[in-house]
Amino acid sequence: FSMLVLLPQEGKQLQDVVPVLKEGDYWAHFTSGLHNAEVELSLPKFKTEYSKRLNDILIDKMGMGIAFSNAADFSRMSDQDANISFVKQDTYIGTDEEGTEAAAVTVVG
């Protein structure tokens, strides 16, 4: 795992950067101007977890609806009729004086 810490340009505030994060091409915008710099950085200890069901994304945006229906064909994986009822992803990240710990797990049921 790695953590990318983005700092605003000198003289800019966080609120100057937030609107750019909402633009469709924000990643290209950031990566085009990245450069290495030595800085003194203090981060507070933190832990955060996030959980999301991925059904809507997989069905509507990735075209995987058939896998969630009775028409699903998983015969190469199982002798029994099978389909997917849900896909859920859980993530965790924690940072303290010792470093950063992160994990992710995806459950298909």
List, for residues 25-60, the tens digit of each pLDDT value: 777 777 787 778 888 888 899 999 999 999 999 999
Displacement of CA 75 from its chain's centroid (Å): 31
- Is residue 33 one of the residues assigned to a domain? no
Confidence at residue 15, expressed as pLDDT on a 0 to 100 scale: 83
With cut-offs at 50, 70 and 90, classify the pLDDT of residue 2: low
pTM (global) more than 0.75: no
Secondary structure (3-state) at 15: helix
Interatomic CA distance for residues 98 and 96, integer angstroms: 5
Provide the β-strand partners of residue 51: 90
Compute the Cα dihedral for 57, 63, 67, 68 and give only its sign: positive
Full residue range of the structural domain in which residue 80 is found? 41-108
**Quick check: is 9 in a domain?**
no
Q: Is residue 64 part of a domain?
A: yes
- Average pLDDT value for the chain: 88
Q: Is residue 78 part of a domain?
A: yes
| Residue carrying the six token digits 């859980």 | 90
For residue 68, tell me if it sits in a domain: yes
Average pLDDT over every residue of 86-91:
98
26 inside domain: no
